[in-house]
Structure 1
Amino acid sequence: MKKLFTLSSLILLCASCAVIRPGEVGIKQTLGKFSSDVKTQGTVFYNPITSKVVKESTQTKNIRLVLSLPSKEGLSVNSEISILHRLDGSKIASVLQNLGPNYENVITSVFRSAASDVCAQFFAKDMHSGMRAKIESEILDKMKINLEKQAEGIELIAVLMKRIQLPRGLASSVERKLQAEQDAMRMEFVLKQEKLEAQRKIINAKGERDAQIIISEGLTDGIIRIKAIEAFKSLSNSPNAKIIITDGKTPLMVNEDTKTSSKKETKKEKTKNK
């Protein structure tokens, strides 16, 4: 009898307590009325006949939706959406009283309304471009306003448009436009490269011309004879056999104009002698 009483007491004790784990909050509901005391972690004792403990997670949750969104030009854009949200543990009573335990259905309905209003102000191509972040931000702001009118305690973290599927014809047009823009950018790069190469050649040609002018201005007859003597000495030091032909006046380099003029003078002298 004593063992039976002990067993009954243990069963009654287990039935009259609830364990609140990390990431959860619990609130006691007695005869349909929620208590103002919110429990975070640990064990909560209650009367199982008149009361119960409602537990809700305060961790971040993800609502995934796949739906069709309207665009400004009247097209339908298929999109995969993620709505990140979590509960404020201190205001769980407001959420349960006003929205009930299935509050995520309310979040989904609010999102559908806000997304339709916001996306109808943008073109379909904007949802597939850098405007996506702006669209997400405006949907989130509109959702917060609508939810605050109904209950407090739901914290909306982000609205993410993870996959956008444009209508087939529009997708092809966008791809052709992007391809044309890439071709134009590539052609512009090629033209700039060609202009730079042309400028390089012009600068190089001017440098060679200026160098030739400086060299020609500095080459006097005396310098030419000195260079010729130096070249002759270098050749004479070489161990290889060699034959050097000169006109008898210059050791190595012969000026054709000088040879021609000297030949003419020799002919004139011969004519005079005759």
Structure 2
Amino acid sequence: MSFLQPLFLLLGVGAAVPLVLHLMRRRIHAKVDFPAVQYLARAERENIRQIRMRNMLLMVLRILAIVALALAAARPLGAFFGAGHVPTAMAIVLDNSLSTSAVVNGQPLLATLRASAKEAAEAATSSDRLWLVTANGEVVGGSRETVLEAIEKTDAIAGRGDLATAVTRAAGLVSGAGLGAQQVVIVTDGQATSWNAPITVGGVGVTVLAPVLAVPANHAVVQAEARPARWTPNGSVVARTSGSDSATYRVALGTTRLASGTLVLAAISCVLRALRLEWDAVYDASIAEFAALQAAAVAA
């Protein structure tokens, strides 16, 4: 048994409140004899056992209600004590778009997402069917161990993902499995660029796991152009960047650094003059061939 939101289990502490109130009501105060109401005391003694049973039952029901609320808020995955589990078809949609490569708290955001996806997969039992669907359309199905291995090997792609298509495909997989329960678990960083179309899941249950992290400000190279169009050793690269603050940049051809520096203004156009290289031959290549030479403008 595992929980998607284990902190909500702290609500279970509130189960002690009905017990405390019950014990406070049992406190015996000083007795005062009042002959006019002796017959009422006699009637109470005759029914004291029923009254105590009723109060005890009410206390137990209140405690169970608070515990059930805490468990529901914690969103459990799996079966309680191995019993009562309905065979489930579960598809885990893992967001591996470019934005998940951002480093947050000393590690790539994708590592955090992989950990959440593994936790969801580990809750599956041998009677369940399991799939992994990534944002770039890869699908892996099979045993829990197979899916866990696929999660570990998932890397960020060089662009935005298509989570809408991935979720729709995941819903189709679990719907066609023919099991008693269907569940789609979406593990994502919540970037809006990955949600580019409406999502259709039918009657499939959907759970979204998005980490609450302080994501650093975005920086991006939104345009890079080689000039002249037919590249020569004396050419230049014109790059346009986008960001909310300053950012460092580096331009490299293969393993050779051509230029680097810091952009102070957001969405600024800058011309990065390539350094003259000692080449054995003059390359006369098109833009596509230039890309094949692994020339890239990299925003650090």
Give the TM-score normalised by structure 2: 0.23
Larger of the two Rg values belongs to structure: 1
TM-score scaled by length of structure 1:
0.24
